Amino acid sequence: MPNRFEVCIDVADPDVVRPFWLVALGYLPTVVENGATILTDPTGVGPTIWFQRVPEPKVVKNRVHLDIWLDSEAEATELAAELMSLGGATLPGFGDEMVLADPEGNEVCLNWPV
């Protein structure tokens, strides 16, 4: 049986980046016992996303990032525009994908079948 896991994203301010990731992943906010808000997959299949508050800013490219697969380039373009309105930024991509950063610079790739 595979191990359960969550994805932890280091951030200075979870309230600043959470709206970006809610939209990017289509997840739901869930308040846990310690009062923190995590993101959970509404289907119960995907990992939980937890935001760990850290004092230092992000300064280099992430070694790990999320790839989000969409049905088409048009769907990726629409999602990218919505994420940009939430403080996201575009980054140089690699081939047929869009690379974005959340408001604190954490990367995510939007992909679609070609």
Confidence at residue 51, expressed as pLDDT on a 0 to 100 scale: 95
The verdict on residue 79 lying in a domain is yes
CA 46 to chain centre: 13
Confidence at residue 96, expressed as pLDDT on a 0 to 100 scale: 83
How open is the CA angle 43-41-25, to the nearest 5 degrees?
120
The verdict on residue 11 lying in a domain is yes
Report which of 20, 40, 22 is spatially closest to residue 102, judged by C-alpha positions.
20
Q: How is residue 63 annotated by DSSP?
A: S
Domain count, the chain: 1
The verdict on residue 38 lying in a domain is yes
Which residue numbers in the chain have pLDDT < 70?
none
The verdict on residue 97 lying in a domain is yes
98 contact partners, CB below 8 Å, separation of at least 6: 76, 77, 80, 90, 109, 110
Biggest alpha carbon–alpha carbon distance for the chain: 44
The verdict on residue 78 lying in a domain is yes
- Full residue range of the structural domain in which residue 14 is found: 6-55+64-111
Confidence at residue 1, expressed as pLDDT on a 0 to 100 scale: 72
The verdict on residue 1 lying in a domain is no
Confidence at residue 46, expressed as pLDDT on a 0 to 100 scale: 94
β partners of residue 30: 38
- Specify the CATH number for the domain of residue 76: 3.10.180.10
